Amino acid sequence: MLVSTNLIRRLAILSIMAVLLGLASPPASAAAAEGGAVRVLLLNGNTGKPMTGVGLNISLSCSGPCVTADGTKLSMGGGAANAEGVIDLPFIPGLRALRPMMTNSNFKYCQDSADHGVAIAHPGSFAADEILRIGVVAPNTCNRFLRIAPQPGQLVFFLRELTAWEQLTRPPQM
């Protein structure tokens, strides 16, 4: 009886601590995952801080035509990240994969790629079902010690501003 009372007391304390620390609350993107919408979080690959106002085009791959619930046909999604570094994509039935595409040459994506000069930020695409089910955190080669936990419905993508040297030595844009 004494053992079970101590165990219950410890579990109650741990539960209270989890609620106070925010560990027991659902992730911010849980609503997006439940509705089938995808949230793309753009973070600075060096610092982990949100990249606000940065534009990103996202190529969409669907099992049929990419059509939103209201009937809008899409081949690309994206836009500018809000104050939290988030780009919300609408619910698209049959969405299979997302592929972030470079829109601004003043940024470098923090993913390994054989050719960083290509317009595609990541050589592969990210599976929509995996993003919705468990969340996906893209590789971060800018800061390998920065750890971000995946959240259902969310794709975390890392980029950084070009250094002054990189801006001076990059090939001319056509």
pLDDT at residue 161 in the model = 87
pLDDT in tens, 59-85: 888 888 888 888 888 878 888 899 999
- Domains delineated in the chain: 29-169 (2.60.40.10)
Q: Which two tokens stand for residue 76?
A: 């690309």
pLDDT in tens, 99-124: 888 666 688 888 765 444 434 444 56
pLDDT at residue 21 in the model = 42
CA gap 134, 149 in Å, rounded:
10
User: What global pTM score does this model have?
Assistant: 0.71
CA gap 33, 51 in Å, rounded:
22
CA gap 140, 144 in Å, rounded:
6
- pLDDT beyond 70 at 52: yes
The average pLDDT across 117-143 equals: 78
The confidence band for 167, taking pLDDT boundaries of 50, 70 and 90, is: confident
The confidence band for 32, taking pLDDT boundaries of 50, 70 and 90, is: very low
The average pLDDT across 33-52 equals: 85
In single-letter form, the type of residue at position 146 comes to: L
pLDDT at residue 80 in the model = 87
> CA nearest 104: which of 79, 74, 77, 75?
79
C-alpha gyration radius of the chain: 20
For residues 107 and 83, is the Cβ–Cβ distance under 8 A? no
- pLDDT beyond 60 at 33: no
- pLDDT beyond 60 at 30: no
The average pLDDT across 41-62 equals: 90
From edge to edge, which strands make up the β-sheet containing 55-62? 76-80, 55-62, 95-101, 126-127
